[in-house]
């Protein structure tokens, strides 16, 4: 049984990923910041199925909170085998309207959190000479998104971090990869009107929006033994958009 930590696991891609790992026999730690009720409901659902799941509250944009979260795991004799850095926020705003707070909040939540969690998880992985890290980036980190400059920059930073860290940790038996979702049916689409969503869908070659489960299956593959010779890669889950 592997120990799997998923950040931002209360809903959307994080919750779908937690379900997939838990239902396949892994011990899953569901990190969340404020969504206490959502995580408790997910834990109750999975526990009723006989799964081994545990909630872990921490603001992963805060380095001290991340250290405390991993200290809690260590105090219970738990090292993480698979780290899924999924926590993130989105904001649609003209570049000229972005404030310093907008920028720092986006970078801290979407990019710095990945750095903090990787830094905390790696010592035990290096000691055991094994581990899987999967970071969730975005199609906008690959091609850029109008009115989402700060979001695109943060997600592009994850891609650079993933590629560099993979090279650094390869000889330690650790793989580091990323999944880049396209347009996925999550809460992040809530600002879009039905007409705007229809336009987005029409631009996707397969003709449909993606689901959280589509992304979860990609993450699960990169955490599996079948991906042992894959590292430093960005797996696009976007219906052929890029």
Residues identified as active-site: 151
Q: For residues 10 and 50, what is the distance between their CA atoms, to the nearest angstrom?
A: 19
Q: For residues 132 and 149, what is the distance between their CA atoms, to the nearest angstrom?
A: 29
């Amino acid at each position: 049984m592997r120990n799997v930590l998923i950040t931002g696991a209360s809903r959307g891609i994080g919750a779908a990923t937690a379900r997939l790992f838990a239902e396949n026999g892994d011990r899953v730690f569901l990190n969340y910041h404020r969504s206490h009720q959502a995580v408790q409901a997910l834990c109750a659902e999975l526990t009723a199925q006989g799964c081994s799941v545990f909630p872990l509250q921490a603001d992963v944009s805060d380095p001290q909170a991340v250290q405390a979260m991993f200290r809690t795991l260590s105090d219970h004799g738990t090292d993480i085998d698979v780290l899924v850095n999924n926590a993130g926020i989105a904001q649609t705003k003209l570049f000229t309207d972005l404030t310093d707070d907008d920028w720092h909040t986006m970078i801290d939540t979407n990019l710095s959190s990945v750095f903090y969690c990787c830094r905390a998880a790696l010592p035990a992985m290096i000691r055991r000479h094994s581990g899987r890290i999967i970071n969730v980036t975005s199609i906008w980190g690959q091609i850029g998104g109008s009115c989402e400059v700060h979001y695109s920059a943060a997600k592009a930073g994850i891609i650079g971090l993933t590629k560099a860290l993979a090279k650094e940790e390869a000889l330690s038996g650790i793989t580091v990869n990323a999944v880049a979702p396209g347009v996925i049916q999550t809460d992040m689409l809530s600002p879009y009107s039905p007409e705007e969503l229809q336009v987005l869908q029409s631009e996707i070659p397969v003709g449909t929006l993606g689901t959280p489960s589509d992304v979860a299956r990609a993450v699960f593959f990169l955490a599996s033994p079948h991906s042992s010779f894959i590292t430093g890669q960005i797996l696009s889950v976007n219906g052929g958009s890029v």
